[in-house]
Structures are given as structure tokens and as C-alpha cells.
Amino acid sequence: MNQPTQRKPLEQSTISIILPVYNEVAVLRTLCRQVADSLATTGCQIEVIFINDGSTDGSAELLNQQLAYEDSRIRVLHLSRNYGHQEALHAGLSHATGDAIIVMDSDMQDAPGCLVDFVAQWQQGFDVVYAIREKRKEGLIKRSLFLAFYRLLRLVATTEIPRDAGNFGLIGRCVLDNILSMGEYDRYYAGLRSWVGFRQTGVVVERLARHDLQPRVSFLGLCSLAKTALFSFSSAPLGLFYAIAAISLLVFSSFT
């Protein structure tokens, strides 16, 4: 394992918080306050980067005209249309200037209270601190699909990707620089974060309920992300296609 990196004192460190937003106007003010309150106890500087992923519900106006206006630590990126969660996240990561970077959702499912635990682990020398999500509040079918996906991914992936760990977590600057230098186009952030290595640890967190009942990532979007994860971190799907091709060839040639 890598040697722990020497950290600057927290008072001299900046933490970037990356928050992709697609139509979350109802909770943005509360979210901002809770994130700032939680990190205030650490004494570090913060920059909060919202990525407005083509919202149409007034999120853009609230972010620009009120939240960023009232607090200079808040920055807002506006994407030209709705690109999707992973793309919005990547745009935010590319603009982060902090010594450590926290990635979280804007729908209140990722508890701001956990941020101090991430920072504490980072101070202990870990470069990646990921949230292990417990007590998910989604319905039975969605929870079962998540369970099946994480088990399948662990079974076939050539990189060890922790179970039940999504985007929520902290990465150090060195990890971010590595992820950005990869130039991946079809991204599964949680997988890339594992792949780069460094010192990694998990913190168990309770996955809260969404503030409304309308997930912004569609079911098809989740399936597409699962496909990206499985194809990017395993050669099993390709092996399966080779096997099908070989069997087809055998069957075909036995009839000719």
C-alpha cells in the first residue's frame, strides 16, 4: 500500500464539494446550509460547485441570483442542456480547485452530516473515502436490482470495486488528477475511483430518502450506467460474445 500522504493543516486546506443538479430547486437552499454547517466544524475553506445540468424548474435562477450571490464560496456551472449525471459530475470535477474533493447528490439522499467523517479519514492519510450505503430507502425492486448489480460487478470486475459504494465520497487531489488524466468518455465514476488505487477506505452511511419521489436518473439511465460499469471493468461481456460467436460458427459449419 502507498505511504500516507502528509496533509496540510485543515485551516490551510480547501475542500471542493461537487453537486450535480437536475431540477432540485426545492432543496438547494437547505442543502447549501447543511453542507456549509457540516464542514464549518472542520475549519477548512470550502468551494461549493453546483453543476446545473439543464434544469427547467428554476434551479438555475435560484443558484445564480440567490445562493451564489449571497455566498462567494458557491460557484455554478451551467451546462448547455441536460447531459446526464455522470457528465455533469465530470464537468464539476474538471473545475474543482480543492486539496480534497467531495462528490455528492443534490437530492438530500447523501447526508451532509457524513462529510466531517470523510474529512477525518482524509486527514488520517486516506486518499479515497467512499460511502458504503446502508438502509436504502428505494422500493424493493430497485433495491434488489442494485444488490444484483453490485454482486455481479464484484464477481466479474478485474478491479476490486467496493459493494454498495456509489459516487458519494471524498477523493484527494492526486486521485482527481489521475481520474481527469484518463480521458475516459463513457464514465462510471465509482469504478474509476477504485481503479486509480492510492489509499482507500469506506465509511458506512445511511442512504436517506429522496426529497421527492421522482428520481432524475431514469431506469434506462441506470441500466446504461450498469452496462458502462460492466463493460469498462470486466472482459466477461466480451468473452460471452466470443463464446456465442464460436458456438454459432460450430453450429453453422456442422450444417454445411
Q: Does residue 13 interact with ligand UDP by CB under 6 A?
A: no
Q: Which of 99, 105, 127, 164 binds ligand UDP (CB under 6 A)?
A: 105
Contact 88, 20 (CB under 8 A): yes
Q: Which of 16, 17, 20, 112 binds ligand UDP (CB under 6 A)?
A: 20
In 3D space, the residue among 21, 97, 11, 100 whose CA is nearest the CA of residue 63 turns out to be 21
Q: Which is nearer to ligand UDP, 10 or 102 (CB)?
A: 102
Q: Which of 50, 85, 173, 226 binds ligand UDP (CB under 6 A)?
A: 85
Q: Does residue 60 interact with ligand UDP by CB under 6 A?
A: no
Q: Whole-number minimum distance, CB 83 to ligand UDP, in Å?
A: 7
Q: Which of 173, 187, 199, 216 binds ligand UDP (CB under 6 A)?
A: 216
Q: Does residue 164 interact with ligand UDP by CB under 6 A?
A: no
Alpha-carbon distances of 155 from 38, 99, 150, 189, rounded to whole Å: 36, 34, 9, 19
With residues binned 3-state (H G I as helix, E B as strand, rest as coil), the percentages for the chain, rounded to 5, are: 45, 15, 35
Task: Name the CA dihedral angle for 177, 181, 182, 186, rounded to a multiple of 10 degrees.
Answer: 90
Positions in the binding site for Mg ion (CB under 5 A): 105, 107, 109
